[in-house]
């Protein structure tokens, strides 16, 4: 089952046309798992390719299903249009690994610089300003721990690809979601029933733990260091961060030194932990952004309030320390 069918809606023509533009097509060459899928770590080895293109189209389909608003849906589609190869690895590269917003810079410029996107927007009666900041539309995006189309899509996509839930179960959970007023009087994607909200919270928490696992953090830091070295050596140029992973790797691996480093990165399959590093190379202490979703049940409240045990599990996750050292090989 194609997990996009979970959203139970056909892609409208205007979204399909926007998705077919060159800036959006580039996202087929940018993965959602930030380079981890190239390693041999057991959690990531062999998982299906999941791209920023798939995620963006899925987020747009969710917004369209719930709003039938062209501006909001187009904004959701285009929200990751500036994402570089290996995605949030570039946040690590730029020292923004705790906020992870650096990859959004350039979104407006790309939208405004695309003749194809501009022509379609004009036909729709929209401007670049209508679509270049999806944060203005709460169904598309909102502040954590609320549920938005963006968080919903990558949770569903990752849960499916990490085999945390079946497509059938995810479809049943999705069917329980509706736009409704939350405790702040704002519109949010909310669950009708506490049981399904609780199950979704469990799945989201399982995903969040993978996003900050030792293997994930270490892979992203090592890949960021590899890219930093290649840029400093002139093997890569800043413009290569505006292309695809395939094109970047072709250029990187044309240099024997960095080809060897890339092979070593790809061969990593296990992680060691230590309170302090020994004399071997490769030890790193890496903090990480902790993503969380605490779903709202219509007229009832957040899962964390309705189910104290789950609230404690979320709180425990947020308070976990990562001030130890990790080393991969």
pLDDT digits (tens, 9 = 90+) for 262-275: 999 999 999 999 99
For 186, other C-beta atoms within 10 Å of its C-beta total 11
Q: Tell me if 87 sits within 8 A of 107, measured CB to CB.
A: no
pLDDT, position 102 = 59
Q: Is residue 103 part of a domain?
A: yes
Q: Is residue 240 part of a domain?
A: no
Taken in order 50, 56, 60, 63, the sign of the CA dihedral is positive
pLDDT, position 9 = 75
Report how far residue 157's alpha carbon sits from residue 54's, in angstroms, rounded to the nearest whole number: 9
Q: What is the CATH number of the domain that holds 107?
A: 1.10.3210.10
Report how far residue 155's alpha carbon sits from residue 34's, in angstroms, rounded to the nearest whole number: 15
Q: Is residue 246 part of a domain?
A: no
Q: Is residue 311 part of a domain?
A: yes
Q: Is residue 328 part of a domain?
A: no
| Residue whose C-alpha is closest to residue 23's, from 116, 97, 140, 90 | 116
The tens digit of pLDDT for each residue in 34-93 reads 999 999 999 999 899 999 999 999 999 999 999 999 999 999 999 999 999 999 999 889
pLDDT, position 98 = 56
Q: Is residue 221 part of a domain?
A: no
Q: Is residue 242 part of a domain?
A: no
Is the previous residue joined to 145 through a cis bond, with omega within 30 degrees of 0?
Answer: yes
Phi, psi of 142 (to 5 degrees): -155, 180
**How far apart are the two ends of the chain, measured CA to CA in Å?**
35
3-class DSSP assignment, residue 302: strand
Report how far residue 197's alpha carbon sits from residue 174's, in angstroms, rounded to the nearest whole number: 10
**Kind of pairing, strands 187-191 and 271-274?**
unpaired
pLDDT, position 288 = 83
The total of structural domains in the chain comes to 1
What domain range includes position 184?
Answer: 8-213+290-319
Report how far residue 148's alpha carbon sits from residue 189's, in angstroms, rounded to the nearest whole number: 6
Q: Is residue 278 part of a domain?
A: no
Q: Tell me if 193 sits within 8 A of 297, measured CB to CB.
A: yes
pLDDT, position 2 = 61
> Which residues of the chain are under the pLDDT cut of 70?
1-4, 8, 96-104
- E-only strand ranges, 137-265: 177-181, 187-191
């Amino acid at each position: 089952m194609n997990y996009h069918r979970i959203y139970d809606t056909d892609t409208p023509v205007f979204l399909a046309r926007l998705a077919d533009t060159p800036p959006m097509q580039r996202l087929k060459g940018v993965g959602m798992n930030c380079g981890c899928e190239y390693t041999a770590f057991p959690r990531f080895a062999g998982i299906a390719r999941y791209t920023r293109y798939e995620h963006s189209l899925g987020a747009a389909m969710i917004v369209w299903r719930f709003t039938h608003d062209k501006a909001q849906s187009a904004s959701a589609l285009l929200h990751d249009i500036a994402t570089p190869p290996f995605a949030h690895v570039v946040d690590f590269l730029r020292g923004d690994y705790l906020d992870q917003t650096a990859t959004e810079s350039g979104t407006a410029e790309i939208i405004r610089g695309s003749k194809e996107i501009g022509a379609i927007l004009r036909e729709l009666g929209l401007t670049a300003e209508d679509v270049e900041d999806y944060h203005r539309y709460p169904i598309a995006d909102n502040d954590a721990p609320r549920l938005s189309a963006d968080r919903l899509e990558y949770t569903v996509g990752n849960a499916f690809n990490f085999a945390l839930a079946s497509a059938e179960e995810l479809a049943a959970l999705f069917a329980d979601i509706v736009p409704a007023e939350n405790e702040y009087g704002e519109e949010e994607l909310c669950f009708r029933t506490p049981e399904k909200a609780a199950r979704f919270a469990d799945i989201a928490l399982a995903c969040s733990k993978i996003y900050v696992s030792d293997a994930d953090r270490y892979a992203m830091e090592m890949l960021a260091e590899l890219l930093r070295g290649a840029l400093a050596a002139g093997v890569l140029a800043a413009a290569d961060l505006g292309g695809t992973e395939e094109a970047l790797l072709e250029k990187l691996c044309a240099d024997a030194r960095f080809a060897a480093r890339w092979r070593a990165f790809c061969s990593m399959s296990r992680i060691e932990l230590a309170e302090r590093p020994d004399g071997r190379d490769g030890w790193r202490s890496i903090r990480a952004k902790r993503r969380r979703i605490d779903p709202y049940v219509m007229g009832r409240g957040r899962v964390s309030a309705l189910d104290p045990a789950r609230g404690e599990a979320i709180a425990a996750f947020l308070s976990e320390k990562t001030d130890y050292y990790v080393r991969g090989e």
